[in-house]
């Protein structure tokens, strides 16, 4: 809080400045002046909250000075000092609602107490003023919200909150769509309201605003006799320049002109229509509603002629073809236009589903989206066709990457099976031998093989040996003891136990059952 000390006695000014602990009283800045005229000049420069002033001074006395200062700031708190107990001065002090009248010679504690009281009054007034401002702001926000729909505001209600010049009846709505608004501030509407209000004021216009769903902020501009599309774009460029300082992504959209603020809902509706077209444009763009852009109403969603080609390319892992088809999809939609945003989302959803269905067809484990969302969850969260395009490219990129790894995995498993087929007769065959052959760690080989085949490596080796043993048992000339060694078991008794466990009968019983 700021304090101004005005006294023609230098010793009094400097003594007060140095002898009192102002900070403990809540005073952060102390300035001084030697008479009423210099006091006004100093007040204009520093805008004090409290004035501690002598009454009698040369050129301009304290009473006249404080009367002028209260015109500048009605909330100003005044404390008078004087060595004269003149009734007229006391009356003037009362008229100016002075907090205290301190008699000279000055007592520091008396001044400190007077300032403490002034600080309390100023703080209380600031709190009340802030509450009033918030209440008034909320009321205008509610009014701006109501003006977005016909018949929700009466003439009397409008006049109660805003004053309009009947000679300047034109009004229009301005929408600002903010993307990733956390980059702006925690009070986005307050920031935008300040930017738009300042721009409107520079152009001798007024505005009231509110925030609506999906980070769309509405401002109704009025007090104008007319405004061309070119002027709207110039105003939008001015606002855009300010928004770019906050490194946010946005669209600025202007609705058509309407006859007066009471009918501004028509401008708001046209701006909403134009905002849909932002789905097809890059960010940081200023758009003005044109009736020519709204001719296509609810067109049918076209059949995607390239869907079969897209699915075929997915199956073949054809990266270049997929890239070309995605690019073609975006260009076709942008060149044809006429579609609504959700219809475009539906077209991209089909492509996302094609990826998921191809994964299932190939027996691949599903590729999760970035945040684990469903395909429609990802698609519906996109704010533009460019985001949809980027998301589809990422999704297909992940699919191709997984497909490539899957191919590598299949090659590694094939190498393992081939090595086992060539080495199963070796009774010392181990997982370590296999891992060294395929150049992977033993733990990775075991995990990879189990994930891809559903069997452990040891189980596969056992099954492979037993199957080979069955083939040999079909030939009566092969002795069971020799068969045991041929399939990698040096101990024929151990081979017999393993065979019975796997097949449910001994090698001899198997031979008898098969007719030998």
Q: pLDDT by residue (tens digit) across 15-54?
A: 999 889 999 999 999 999 999 999 999 999 999 999 999 9
Per-residue pLDDT at 297: 47
Neighbours of 276 (CB within 10 A): 14
Give Cα 454 to chain centroid, integer Å.
44
**Does the pLDDT at position 172 exceed 70?**
yes
Per-residue pLDDT at 459: 94
* pLDDT band, residue 238 (cuts 50/70/90): very high
Q: Distance (Å, rounded) from C-alpha 112 to C-alpha 107?
A: 9
**Does the pLDDT at position 451 exceed 70?**
yes
Q: Which residues touch 329 (CB under 8 Å, ≥6 apart)? A: 304, 306, 347, 348, 351, 389, 392
Phi-psi region of 47 (alpha: psi -120 to 50; beta: other; left: phi over 0): left
**Does the pLDDT at position 457 exceed 90?**
yes
Q: Distance (Å, rounded) from C-alpha 120 to C-alpha 128?
A: 12
16 membership: H or E segment, kind and range: helix 10-19
Q: Distance (Å, rounded) from C-alpha 180 to C-alpha 240?
A: 16
440 membership: H or E segment, kind and range: none
Q: Which residues touch 347 (CB under 8 Å, ≥6 apart)? A: 301, 302, 304, 329, 333, 339
209 membership: H or E segment, kind and range: strand 206-212
pLDDT higher for 180 or 267?
267
Q: Distance (Å, rounded) from C-alpha 181 to C-alpha 203?
A: 27
Per-residue pLDDT at 103: 83
Helices (H), 474-506: 480-486, 492-503
pLDDT in tens, 120-155: 999 998 888 888 888 888 999 999 999 999 999 988
Average pLDDT (325-352) is 88
CB of 431 closer than 8 Å to CB of 457: yes
* pLDDT band, residue 453 (cuts 50/70/90): confident
Q: Distance (Å, rounded) from C-alpha 486 to C-alpha 427?
A: 9
């Amino acid at each position: 809080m700021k304090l101004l000390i005005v006294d023609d006695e230098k010793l009094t000014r400097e003594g007060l400045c140095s002898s009192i602990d102002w900070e403990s009283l809540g005073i952060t800045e102390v300035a001084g002046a030697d008479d009423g005229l210099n006091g006004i000049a100093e007040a204009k420069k520093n805008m004090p909250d409290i004035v501690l002033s002598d009454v009698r001074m040369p050129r301009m006395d304290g009473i006249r000075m404080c009367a002028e200062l209260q015109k500048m700031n009605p909330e100003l708190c005044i404390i008078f000092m004087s060595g004269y107990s003149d009734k007229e001065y006391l009356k003037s002090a009362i008229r100016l609602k002075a907090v205290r009248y301190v008699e000279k010679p000055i007592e520091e504690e008396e001044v400190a107490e007077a300032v403490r009281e002034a600080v309390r009054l100023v703080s209380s007034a600031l709190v009340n003023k802030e509450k009033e401002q918030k209440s008034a702001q909320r009321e205008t926000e509610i009014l701006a919200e109501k003006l977005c729909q016909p018949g929700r505001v009466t003439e009397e209600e409008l006049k109660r909150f805003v004053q309009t010049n009947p000679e300047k009846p034109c009004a229009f709505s301005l929408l600002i769509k903010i993307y990733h608004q956390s980059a702006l501030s925690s009070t986005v509407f307050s920031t935008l309201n300040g930017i738009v209000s300042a721009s409107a004021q520079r152009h001798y216009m007024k505005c009231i605003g509110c925030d609506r769903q999906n980070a769309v902020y509405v401002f109704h501009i009025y007090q104008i006799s007319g405004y061309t599309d070119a002027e709207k774009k110039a105003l939008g460029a001015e606002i855009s320049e300010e928004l770019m300082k906050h490194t946010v992504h946005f669209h600025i959209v202007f609705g058509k002109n309407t006859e007066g603020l009471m009918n501004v809902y028509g401008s708001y509706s046209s701006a909403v229509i134009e905002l849909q077209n932002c789905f097809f444009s890059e960010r940081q763009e200023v758009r003005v509603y044109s009736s020519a852009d709204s001719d296509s109403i609810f067109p049918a969603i076209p059949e995607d002629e390239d869907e079969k080609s897209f699915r075929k390319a997915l199956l073949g892992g054809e990266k270049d073809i997929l890239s070309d088809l995605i690019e073609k999809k975006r260009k076709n939609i942008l060149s044809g236009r006429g579609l609504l945003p959700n219809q475009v989302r539906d077209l991209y959803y089909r492509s996302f589903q094609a990826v998921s269905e191809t994964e299932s067809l190939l027996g691949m484990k599903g590729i999760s989206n970035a945040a684990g969302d469903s395909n429609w969850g990802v698609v519906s969260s996109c704010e533009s066709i460019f985001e949809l395009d980027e998301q589809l490219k990422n999704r297909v990129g992940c699919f191709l990457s997984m497909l490539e790894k899957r191919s590598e995995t299949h090659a590694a498993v094939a190498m393992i099976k081939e090595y086992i087929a060539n080495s199963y007769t070796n009774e010392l065959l181990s997982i370590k031998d296999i891992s060294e052959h395929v150049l992977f760690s033993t733990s990775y080989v075991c995990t990879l093989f189990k994930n891809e085949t559903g069997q452990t490596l040891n189980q596969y080796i056992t099954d492979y040996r037993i199957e080979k043993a069955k083939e040999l048992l079909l030939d009566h000339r092969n002795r069971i003891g020799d068969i045991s060694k041929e399939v990698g078991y040096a101990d024929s008794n151990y081979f017999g136990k393993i065979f019975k466990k796997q097949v449910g009968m001994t090698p001899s019983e198997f031979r008898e059952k098969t007719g030998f």
